[in-house]
Structure 1
């Protein structure tokens, strides 16, 4: 967190840098990081012509001409933000009350796993993709209202086998790491 009072130009440069590194930061989180009010962040964004959070997400989604062959509509858990077939992808999952334990407001693990697994499958450019094995570590709990950004990357390909690494984060905190072995199959399967 920035503790010292910054000049407006310095604060705006910092704000732009934070958003270029992580476009999923909300105005509230930016205000907290920069030590200013949410209104100050909104004014700075306006002067810098940086769209608000929802508009940034829409622009990212529109800017990626992506088509998922391996999953049908609604099968991807989370919202696909970026994808380069057979290479990498990014998805966003907003945790709501329905995804958490009522008592603790901690997200149930199967939602985080489903986001990571479905992203690992989605980035493979084949009609049918199945998960063979998954090794997943849950690093820290995720709570209601947090946004999970999953990033998947193909680390190795051997024939129809793909080794995919998925790292899920909430802001800068890693919450899940997973290694998935997925298989591209023929459509006849």
Structure 2
């Protein structure tokens, strides 16, 4: 009997397999990873991954209307899952070039960029901009870690979306934020009369990010 994967390795393997084939069932994943179906379901819940039926629906939606949502193509990191108006998931490898000089701590603006781009992508609009953001950096992220960001649309009022994004390294939370995303139509963009209200605020590690 082969050696069981650690939880961290199993989660990364699960993400990789679903990135390659989003239509794998829990039964197939359990067989490939050598664990129970219940373990796969718990892993999906921990990672914020929907069941296969929802992933299939999302694939069809992106195939039919992907060109209408260019923001989903501009996510910083790897887009794992995106359902406009509902939520999404992305991951990013923390590389040496992202760290503070002589330290292994990842600069805050990289975490913000991943989260902000995902928040824009999940807004149910062809074009969207960030109006404001309130962010925190509870724990440092380090070189070599895999950053998994999960976005949820909390509220929609007309053309305004309130999106929550939480980024984790396994169970360690390294970023949390709420973004006000403004949906824009072609006419508004062409006229250039839109106004972006507010600015980003936060109590993160790096005030200059």
The answer as to 2:154 corresponding to 1:155 is yes
Partner of 2:109: 110
How far 1:131 moved relative to its partner? Answer: 0.5
Deviation at 1:48, TM superposition (A): 3.4
Distance in 2 (alpha carbons) for counterparts of 1:19 and 1:99: 25
Q: 1:126-185: per-residue Cα shift (whole Å, max 9, x none)?
A: 221010110000011111100000000000000010000000000011111100000111
Task: Output the aligned Cα RMSD.
Answer: 3.3
Partner of 2:22: none
Distance verdict in 2 for CA 1:72–1:152, change over 3 Å: closer
Shift of 1:50: 2.6
Structure 2 counterpart of 1:49, from 23, 32, 36: 32
For residue 69 of structure 2, what is the aligned residue in structure 1? 69
In structure 1, the residue corresponding to 2:117 is in which secondary structure? helix
**1:72-111 counterparts in 2 under 5 A?**
73=73, 75-111=74-110
TM-score, normalised via structure 1 length:
0.68
Match of 1:123 in 2: 122
Give the CA deviation at 1:102. 2.7
Q: Once the 2 structures are TM-superposed, how far is the Cα of residue 86 of structure 1 from its aligned partner? A: 0.7
- Between the two proteins, the alignment pairs up a number of residues equal to 149
TM-score, length basis structure 2: 0.62
Give the conservation status (yes or no) of the 8 Å contact 2:147–2:168: yes
1 CA distance for matches of 2:106 and 2:143?
7
Higher-helix-fraction structure? 2
Task: Give the corresponding residue for 1:181.
Answer: 180
